[in-house]
Structure 1
């Protein structure tokens, strides 16, 4: 981190000096690393272990905790909505609404207008007006 001292104001310089002084006191008050290492090795030996047995070759993540179970892959779902302008734009009705559909509904069209005829019924939350519709678009 490079600090351009020439561009700092008086208050910024004072806060920088205070922060540097606090950091200097912290570093000077700590015990040397070699002494801490000797203490840790002695403590492990006192309990009948070596440092290699405690830490060894395993990564830190493996030591820290157990692994999570792998997530199940989500299954494929048939599309319910299709963009009439671009047939490749489809949406299953799950997850976040795609941009193309959000854009078109923003300009006054209904999500039900984009249902694939004969295949789909509207997907909606209970409080959504889409779920209350009883009409299913036919070809």
Structure 2
């Protein structure tokens, strides 16, 4: 089957492309079904079900989505402010303000004076 692509306009070519993509998806699904049937038949010859071999129920088994594990952000920030009354207490400037920072602000202390 030879198709003369040079005589087709852009719209016709895009339609053909869309039809080919749909046909490929259909063919892939058909091949997958055939492969599953062949695997089930091969497993049955040895007295097993496909679910027993694969570790799950083949009919209900769906691919699992892999999620990236996030690293905890706690402790990754560099301290930006220091408590003038207690040098051990610091704050990165991110997140909720600590009580000592709020108290200092209420007293009228400029945040710039508490910067490290």
Range class of TM-score, shorter chain: 0.3 to 0.5
Q: TM-score, normalised by structure 2?
A: 0.39
